[in-house]
Structure 1
Amino acid sequence: MSFSEKSAWVMFLVLAVIGGGFIIDVVQVSLAIGAIAPPMMIIKFVVSMIFISIVAQVALAITSSRDASRPKDERERSISLWSSAKASFVFAFGVITSLGHFLYYGDGNLLFYMVLASLIISQLLEYVLQIIAFRRGI
């Protein structure tokens, strides 16, 4: 398993757990207050993502030190570009849908969370596509 594939697995798990927890927190707070939660909840999410991502990537680099220092080969670069291109369509669709929803309802907090959810979903898709491509040997 290449370092890029291991990194995709690690980042998928980190984003799925922290992003999923964030979405659950936002829904619970929104239900409790009877309105969309204020965007200030993003601070905990961002700090958690940064800290855990750094720790996970450092641990991965330590355990795979030889592979971590090696530059990406042509296959890894093409897989990265391919998965990013596919995931960007999901992100664009989510943003356009969010903007349309905002035009109809006019709720800026909901726009913020919808765009953020689009970003999380598209990034998760990018990691999944990378993992699939590495597994298939594309």
Structure 2
Amino acid sequence: MNSRNASAITCPIERSLAFLGDAWTMLILRDANSGVTRFDQFKKNLGIAPTILAKRLATLTNEGLLEKRLYSERPPRDEYVLTPAGRDFLPVLFMIAEWGKKHRGEGKLTRFLDAELGTEIKPTAIDAVTGAEIGTRAIRMLSPE
């Protein structure tokens, strides 16, 4: 991404990707949505370098998707808890997963199940206004004036 000021970007996809468009960031949000909160847990689950993890956690905290909370005073240790904005990203992750199953689905894949029913989650993006599945109708992009 270029270094333009995010508020100057008019496309909400581009504006979001300015800080979310990194695989590590998406995987951190995936793990956070599954209950991971601590630096060492993220590092172990992802096999990510500590410097990269620290940068991504700082960005997600600064952008309001995670909240940093002290869980130990001696030694001082923080955990990273999802904010409402971070929880709102879960459907996006599921849509990416569904696309991946359809177009990159060779071999064994993790399944996502409803915890209460035990059924596999099948996400679909629906336009709340028309009720149509997104991708089944033509779209038009309108830039701000």
Determine if the TM-score, normalized by the shorter chain, exceeds 0.5: no
What is the TM-score of this pair, normalised by structure 2? Answer: 0.24
Q: Which has the higher strand share?
A: 2
Higher relative contact order (CA 8 A, sep 6+): 1
> What TM-score results when the alignment is normalised by the length of structure 1?
0.25
